[in-house]
Structures are given as structure tokens and as C-alpha cells.
A = this chain, B = another copy of it.
Amino acid sequence: MPTNPDSHIIVREVGLRDGLQSIATILPTASKLAWCEREFAAGVSEIEVGSFVPPKLLPQMADTADVLVAALARCPGLTATVLVPNLKGAERGAAAGAKKLNFVMSASASHNWANVRRTVDDSLAEFERVVAFSHGLPTHERPVVSGGLATSFGCSIEGNIDEARVLALAVRLAELGAEEVVLADTVGYGNPAAVRRLFEAVRRELGKLPLAAHFHDTRGLGLPNVVAALDVGIIRFDASLGGLGGCPYAPGASGNIVMEDLVFLLESMGHTTSVDLAALLEVRRYVQQLLPGEALRGSIGQAGLPKNFRSLVAARQGGR
């Protein structure tokens, strides 16, 4: 079922995790917080602030607990999330007050091994432990547990990933207690036809369970894939400011879809995002100052808003 033309779409910032983990610069905690606060103020209500992985592997993420605690204190109402690959990460995330734990595993066995040094079955067993841990917490401390499937649309190591396999894993995550399932095109292999097929199939099996899309723009199909996902009712999208991001274990996989361009796409089409695009472009400029050595991507950041954008949005707001 297509997304209604005037639906509210949830855009989630993952640049503080997916972006910062893939660049050499280690952003100081205070800078991460300032980015987080400003983007929250611009209207982005869900932000993945970091990941709980061994600091030896990703020193950029060593301060995730500090960022999380401070972000929650400074941004009341923020859905502050963290990526966790295992139970230990989940425990650390919950202890620091994460609103949502984004558990990640790969549909591709080779990618899962490269990324988290586990077989896919072992990752599923670990996910079960994460859910059990979460269920053991007092209700008011219990984070939402999300199950993410990296390389759902193909793998730079294995090539094709069978859609039936991805579907079965999504169903398994739901059976094990996922409160949200994320299909991730980690390496930019997806296309609008595959996106429609796979999300439709997963939706058919999982009913009303929240589904989310995490697309990379490596081969230019990130936003076309968003259009396809909207067509089949998906309303949750990950993106990163300036397209910062990639995957350190997936060669050539540069770039999440660009948050500013995503918001522009959605708002132009008539959807609402609660994001103030002009304010978001200010945050982009700020993040560019924080990361002077990084080339931010994005069309709206370069070309600016079209002359008719304000009138389009105003007309819609007047109509409500």
C-alpha cells in the first residue's frame, strides 16, 4: 500500500555513527553533542549517536556512552539510539539510557563475519539474548529493540543476496522479538524494483511491525530507492547530514543518503518531516566547520532551495 501523499515521514540521523565511523578524524565529544543538539533543534527527532563496539576497532566511537548521556540530558524528547552488535553493547547502551538499541547483523554471511566475526546463526542467537536482556529491565528503563539487516540488497563480497533469505531473516528477527526491522542497503546495490519487492514481501509477513529503510547512495540510487519504498508504505528512513558515511568493512561503500536531500524530496512531494530545511542547511554548514577536511555531499547543500519551495510548503501548511 503506498504511503499517503501527506504522510508524516520519520527521518533518522545516522551520521554521528555511520558517518563518523568511516572517516579518520575523531570528532571531540563536545562537537558531537553540538551537532546532535543543533540537528534536534532543526526538527530531527531520532538520532543514532554512536555505537558500542570495541574502541580498539573504532576509536571514533569510544565516547558513545558520554555522548548518549549528555544528548539525553540536553535534548528532551530526542529518540537517542545506538548501534549494538552484541549483548555487551546492548547492556552498555541501556545503562547509558538509550531509547532504542539498533542491533545489526548482515544478511550476507561473509559480510557478517567481516563486520561482527560471527556466523549469521550466532548473530540471531545473540539478538535473542539482547531481547531477553531488554525484557528483563524495568519498563521505564527498557529501550526499544530494533533488528537491522545489513547487505539486504546485495553484498560487495558475495554479490547477490537471495531475497528469500533476507525475508526469512527479517521474519526470524521479528519472531525473536524485534520491535522494528531495518533493511539496509549497506553497499548501494539496491534498486527501486528490488526495494519494492523486498519491502512488500516483508510487510506482508510482518503486518504492522515498524519497518525502516537504510539506503546508501553509492551508485546514485539512494533517493530513487526512497521513492520506491514510499510506494510500498515505508515511512522511516535513515540518512546522514552531508551524506557522511559508509562501511569500513565494505569496500567502495561510500555514503548514506543525504539528509538535506531526503528532507527536500519528502517535503517537495507533500510529505511532512517536522524538519526545518533552512535550519538543517545551517547545521550542515556547522558540521562542515567541524570537519573541514571532509567533503560533504548533497545537491540542496550546493544548489540551494528552489524559489517555489517556501510557497509549496506554506500552501500545504495553510491547507491544514
Contacts and interface: CB of A to CB of B under 8 A. Distances in A.
Interface string A9-31: 00000000000000000000000
Interface string A296-320: 0011100110111001100000000
A107 interface: no
A160 B308 contact: yes
A252 interface: yes
Interface stretch (A81-89, A98-106, A132-140, A216-224): A216-224
Interface string A275-309: 00000000000000000000000111001101110
Interface string A211-250: 0000001111101101110010000000000000000000
Interface residues of A, number: 44
A187 B219 contact: no
Contacts of A158: 307
Interface string A170-185: 0000000000000000
Contact of A223 (B5, B193, B224): B224
Interface stretch (A120-128, A141-149, A264-272): A264-272
A189 interface: yes
Contacts of A152: none
Nearest to A304: B252
Given A192-B227, A192-B269, A306 B156 contact: yes
Contacts of A303: 188, 218-219, 252, 254
A261 interface: yes
A277 to B, nearest CB: 11
Contacts of A219: 261, 264, 299-300, 303, 306
B258 A220 contact: yes
Contacts of A311: 159-160
A154 interface: yes
A269 B194 CA distance: 7
A223 B226 contact: no
A191 interface: yes
A154 to B, nearest CB: 5
Interface of A: 5, 154-156, 158-160, 187-189, 191-194, 217-221, 223-224, 226-228, 231, 252, 254, 258, 261, 264-265, 268-270, 298-300, 303-304, 306-308, 311-312
Given A5-B193, A193-B270, 14 more contacts: A158-B307, A192-B227, A219-B303, A220-B223, A220-B264, A220-B265, A220-B298, A221-B223, A221-B268, A221-B299, A223-B223, A223-B224, A224-B265, A252-B303
18 contacts: A158-B307, A159-B307, A160-B308, A187-B306, A188-B303, A189-B307, A191-B268, A218-B303, A219-B299, A219-B303, A221-B261, A221-B268, A221-B299, A224-B224, A224-B265, A227-B228, A252-B303, A254-B303
